[in-house]
Amino acid sequence: MYKLLLLLFPFFVFSKTLKVGKNEQFKTIKQAVAAAQRGDTILVEKGIYSEGTIDIEKPLTLIGIDRPILDGKLKDEIVTFRADHITLKGFKLINSGRDEIKSVAAVHIYNSGYGVIENNIFENNYFGIYVQRGYKTLIQNNKITTNRGVSQETVGDGIHNLGSEEIWIKHNYISGHKDGIYLEKTKKSYIYKNLSRENRRYGLHFMFANDCVYSGNVFDNNAAGVAVMYAMNVGMYANKFLNNWGDSVYGVLLKDISYSKIKNNIFNNNTTAIFADGATKIDFYYNQFENNGWAMKVNANCMENRVLKNNFINNTFDVSTSGSIVMNDFRENYWDKYDGYDLDKDKIGDVPFHPLSMYSVLVEQNPSVMLLFRTFFVDLLDKTEKVIPSLTPESFVDEKPMMKEIPLSPKGEKNPNTKR
């Protein structure tokens, strides 16, 4: 039995710890990696290590003591994962090289699974972390920043995932990159409680990424908040989209996306909170739209979406559309512009609310009309439209507007009206 146990569990029996540092058994990390056996742990003492690219081709754990610095000298990738079960913790990785064709990164994962990148600082790199065909990898508690690029074309993403599956990205701070987080042809991944701010394009970018969830994140003051494009079955829960201002800037872009849910999010102080183009069968419920230019822009090619129990407060325009036919369901939302009444005291307005104003339709057709904003002429237009509708679709209506602001649903609560 004893021999059998040795055969079954050699990893636990024979793993050992190697030390790297000025007065330790190894002077360089590469020496320790070459000498290590599968499953060993390498402890790296404080210092600056400029060794070119450190290729890890076997299961190892590298732990930094007192934050050692790995410096790429603006020439190379710094660490590559080329095997399963590799862990990197406690380092500062700076000055990776740059190559747009090879997607040079401070840490590059190649066909590797079950990896951990945790509690590291990334500064002045092209890409921070690049996961290429990764599987079941955890990236958490890292600080990823750069000042390399003068524009989005001269810098890579903070965390880039290509052709990967089950990637967990949690509790990271990302700033200054092209996209904070990019999921490309990635599936079944989870983006949780990250702060992505002041990135040059998107805080988070989906492209052909299905069956993913992002929850509890903050996207603040990026060139644009989040883009979810060409995807299915995406869950977007309890995120904050803040301060995304500029021409054609939005909190969330939904482009050719279907069968997804957007719940419990806060959209505050964005030019456009949600811009939907080709979005189909999306449930928007228990979201807060406040202090935005446009709360929702819904193009005419969006169908079978449901906008239920959301709050629309102090937005310049609550809803705008590019077409005259509405194939979406707006119901039981709170609209601060609603001036109806509730005689039966059931907390639902007795008069339907038409959230699409004539002025918003005119602005959509001719943006220069914004010069008339807050003038008596605009008020007259909207009041006339209510009496004699002409430009706004009659079907664009909330039949059951709520009289009071709706509390955001508690975490985990299911909306009984969202079963398809």
User: What pLDDT does 150 receive?
Assistant: 66
pLDDT at 412: 39
Q: What share of the chain is helix, strand, coil (3-state, %, to 5)?
A: 10, 40, 50
Is 258 within the bounds of a domain?
no
Domain extent, residue 39, equals 16-216
In a domain, 259, yes or no: no
Is 322 buried (19+), middle (13-18) or exposed (0-12) by CB count in 10 A? Answer: middle
Specify if 289 maps to a domain: no
pLDDT at 179: 96
Rounded mean pLDDT of 194-214? 95
What's residue 418's pLDDT?
39
Tell me the percentage of the chain whose pLDDT exceeds 90: 66
Closest listed residue to residue 275, CA positions, set 237, 311, 246, 314: 246
In this model, does residue 5 exceed pLDDT 90? Answer: no
Structure tokens at 132: 């290429």
Q: Is residue 353 part of a domain?
A: no
Q: Is the pLDDT of residue 406 over 90?
A: yes
- pLDDT score recorded for residue 339: 86
Is residue 211 included in any domain, yes or no? yes
Band of residue 366 on the pLDDT scale cut at 50, 70, 90:
low
In the chain, the number of structural domains is 1
How open is the CA angle 98-103-107, to the nearest 5 degrees? Answer: 85
> Sorting pLDDT into bands at 50, 70 and 90, what band is 111?
very high
Residues 6+ apart with CB under 8 A from 107: 77, 78, 79, 80, 81, 88, 93, 117, 120, 122, 128, 129, 130
Burial class (CB in 10 A: 0-12, 13-18, 19+), 345: exposed
pLDDT tens for each residue of 28-85: 999 999 999 999 999 999 999 999 999 999 999 999 999 999 999 999 899 999 999 9
| In a domain? residue 344 | no
Q: What is the torsion angle, in degrees rounded to the nearest 10, for the CA atoms of residue 85, residue 91, residue 95 and residue 96?
A: 0
Q: CA 270 to CA 296: how far, in whole Å?
A: 11
Does 407 fall in a domain?
Answer: no
Q: Stretch 259-281: mean pLDDT, rounded?
A: 95
Q: Which two tokens stand for residue 415?
A: 């909306």
pLDDT at 227 over 60: yes
Q: What is the pLDDT of residues 123-158, one digit of tens each?
A: 999 999 999 999 999 999 999 999 876 677 789 999
CATH number at residue 22: 2.160.20.10
Through-space distance between the first and last CA atoms of the chain, rounded to whole angstroms: 55
Q: What is the mean pLDDT of residues 252-257?
A: 96
Q: Does residue 54 lie in a domain region?
A: yes
